[in-house]
Amino acid sequence: MKTERIRGFFKGVKDSFLVGSINPLRFQLAASQDISNYPNFYLICKIKHEAHLLDKAVKNPYSPGRATARKEYLAALLNELDKRNLDFIEVSNWAYEILGKYDIWTKEKTSQMLLGDDVFKALPELAVPSIRFWKEGTPPESQIIECINSGQMASASCNRQAFLIKVVANDNQNFDGEGARNASMFAAAPYRVFIYYNVNNYSEKYAAMIDIGMFAQNFVLKAKNLGLGTCCCYASEHLDHGQAYWKKKLDLSNEYYCGLTILVGIPKEVVNKPPRIETKKIVEFIRA
């Protein structure tokens, strides 16, 4: 684990340099502490994050040794949770399920993906799963327009919504090497929706991204209502070709910045949506 922490530190330095933010370094420094020093709430959220990433790993074609370090890290996090006797059973039960799924993956050497037609069955109204596997076929453009129109109905700071939407339609869905990796998702998804904002319309540091988040929530809820699957990709840091490449390709001037891309298509994966922490455990009312 010590070696992994050292690697994490240098990855944080590298990623912070690449994206122009200290967040990646802070992320890695927090994780590099001894697990016994993790604050309680950080520990819980870390378990959810690592279990989610391990769950994605076992949806890929099997490869020897893949995600072994993450599996061991998640087991260590859960062991620490057990030591502290904290009541977050909804999170720990799900994480233990993911560890079991990893063991099945390494034994059977097959992707641990559940397929089905009714991918939204039994999900609450506001629960939107992140879909990473798509059926062949392209939904009509009119449905994408419906989703974008719903996004425009969201509230926004000063009602600016200085967005431009670029939709890249994929007429050649490629399912070779299908997995939960971003590259394979991009190749298979029929639509990729780029949400750009005009930086000249925002003087605040975070307002534009908050606006995009509210826009995206309406978008994905409408998509679910139409039977479509979505996956939000944080394009501001993880564009596959970078901001400059896509601005040139989409003929956008320099004042536009892509804050988010959303993959949209016909879903074929039944997602075991990760649990949310019980609401009362994250809420505190303060009497002024």
Is-contact 275 51, C-beta < 8 A?
no
**pLDDT score, position 242:** 84
What value does the mean pLDDT of the chain take?
90
Instruction: Work out the average pLDDT over 85-91.
Output: 93
What are the pLDDT digits (tens) for 52-61?
A: 999 999 999 9
Is residue 4 scored above 90 in pLDDT? Answer: no
Cβ burial of 251 (10 Å; 0-12, 13-18, 19+) is exposed
CA distance readout (Å), 51 to 24, 46, 131, 132, 272: 19, 8, 17, 16, 12
List phi, psi (to 5°) of 264.
Answer: -135, 135
- Does residue 23 contact residue 234 with C-beta atoms inside 8 Å? no
User: Alpha-carbon distance 69 to 4, whole Å?
Assistant: 8
- The pLDDT tens digits for 244-261 are 899 999 999 999 999 999
pLDDT at 270 over 80: yes
Average the pLDDT over 18-27 and give the result. Answer: 80
Express as a percent the part of the chain with pLDDT over 90. Answer: 64
> Alpha-carbon distance 81 to 230, whole Å?
32
Which of 4-13, 99-108, 218-227 is predicted with the least confidence, judged by mean pLDDT?
Answer: 4-13
Residue 13 has what pLDDT?
78
**pLDDT per position as a tens digit, 164-192:** 999 999 999 999 888 888 888 899 999 99
Q: How many residues in total does the chain contain?
A: 288
In percent, how much of the chain has pLDDT > 70? 97
Cα 31 to Cα 16: distance, rounded to the nearest angstrom: 15
DSSP category for residue 66: T
Alpha helix stretches (DSSP H) within the chain: 2-19, 23-31, 40-57, 68-84, 89-108, 141-152, 182-188, 207-225, 235-238, 243-249
